[in-house]
Amino acid sequence: MLPTINPPGFFWPQAELGTDIKVNEWIRQIQREEELKKEKWDVVLFGVPLSRSSISASGASEFPESFRRSWKGFSTYNLDFESDLQKMKVADLGDVKMHFTDIPQCHSNIKQTMKDVRKQFPHSFPIAIGGDHSITAMLVSGLKELEPEKEIGILQLDTHLDLRSLEDHGPTNGTPIRNLIQNSMIKGENVYNIGLHGFFNSQSLIRYAKEHKLNYITLKEARRRGIEETVQEALLQLESKVDKIYVTIDMDVLDIGFAPGVPASTPGGMSTEELFNAVYAAGLSSKTAAMDIVCLDPTRDHKAQPTVKAGTYTFLTFLTALMNRR
C-alpha cells in the first residue's frame, strides 16, 4: 500500500460481477498490496478526510465514509446512457493519513499521495473524495511537481472564487486557487470557474480574478448559454492552452434545496441535473486527467442524505463519461 494511505475505513463484502449488481459489489476496496497487482485499474480513488482547514465549521472529513456507505443505493447501470460501469476497473485505495492537529502535515500527505498514485498507477485516472477545498491546491501541486514541464488547467464548478488572501487566511478551503497561482503551479488564465452567483463573492476577489485573467462564468450567464455548452466551450479553450485539465467540484455549487449538506449552502445555485450534465461534459475531454469532489458535509445533511447521494451520483456520472469517451 502507499505509505501515506490507510486502507478504507469501511468495507463492503466483495461479490462476483454479473448483471444487476450494485456499486458496492463492483468497486474493489483494496486491503492488501497484492490485490493492486491483479488488475490494470482504469480509475483509482482515495478519500481525503480533512476539514480542519475549513474557514467555517465543517464535517467534510466525514464524506469519504458516507460516500462508501451510499454505494449500496446505486446500480452500476446508467439508464440515461445505457452504459454499465462494470466495463471499468475501479480501485478504492483508502484514505490519506491525517494528523489530528498538524494541518501542514495533512497537506503534505495529500500532495505526496497524488505523486505516489501517479507513479504507481501512471495509466489510471485519479479521483479524490474530500474533504474541504484546501485539498485541491495540494493535489494539483502534486501533479505539477511530478511533471513541472506540463501546463495544468482548472475547470472549477463552484459558488465561490476561492481566491481569499493566504496572508489573512492561510491554506484554507477559501484559498486553493490563489494558493496555486501564487505558487506558480497554474496560470490564472487557465482557470475556468462556472457556477458563481448572487451575493457570495466580494469585489476585492473579483478584482484579483480580473488582474490574473481568470475566466469566470456566472451561473446566470451559463444558463443563458446552456450549462453543457458553457462547459464544453471552457474545455475547448483549455485544451488549446494546457497539457492536462484538473476538474474540481465544490458541492456548494448546488442550490441549498438540492444540497443542504455543505458548509456554505446558498440559494440560487445549480440543480442536480445541471451539475450532472456539467460533470458528464467535463469527463468527456481527452485532456481531463484528474478530479476531486469537495466540501460535502454529511453531518449537515437531511435524514434521507440528498447531498451525499448527489455527491455519489456526481462521481458515477463522471465515471460514465470517462468510460464513454474511450
> Which residues, including other chains, have CB under 8 Å from residue 114's CB and lie 6 or more apart?
126, 128, 138, 139, 142, 143, 146, 290
Classify residue 213 by its DSSP letter.
T
Rounded distance, CA 107 to CA 48, Å?
10
> Phi, psi (5° rounding) for residue 83?
-125, 140
**Greatest C-alpha distance within the chain:** 55
Classify residue 49 by its DSSP letter.
-
- Answer for the pair 93, 5: CB distance below 8 angstroms, yes or no: yes
- Answer for the pair 161, 207: CB distance below 8 angstroms, yes or no: no
Does 250 carry a binding-site annotation? yes
Does 197 carry a binding-site annotation? no
Does 252 carry a binding-site annotation? yes
Does 162 carry a binding-site annotation? yes
Strand pairing class (43-48; 90-96): parallel
Rounded distance, CA 272 to CA 251, Å?
10
Does 160 carry a binding-site annotation? yes
- Answer for the pair 279, 78: CB distance below 8 angstroms, yes or no: no
Residue 192: what residue type?
A: Y
- Answer for the pair 318, 274: CB distance below 8 angstroms, yes or no: no
Does 212 carry a binding-site annotation? no
Cα–Cα distance list, 154 to 114, 193, 245, 300 (Å): 16, 8, 6, 28
Burial of residue 172 (number of CB atoms within 10 Å: 0-12, 13-18, 19+): buried
- Answer for the pair 125, 43: CB distance below 8 angstroms, yes or no: yes
Rounded distance, CA 325 to CA 302, Å?
35
Task: Report the binding-site residues for Mn(2+).
Answer: 133, 158, 160, 162, 250, 252
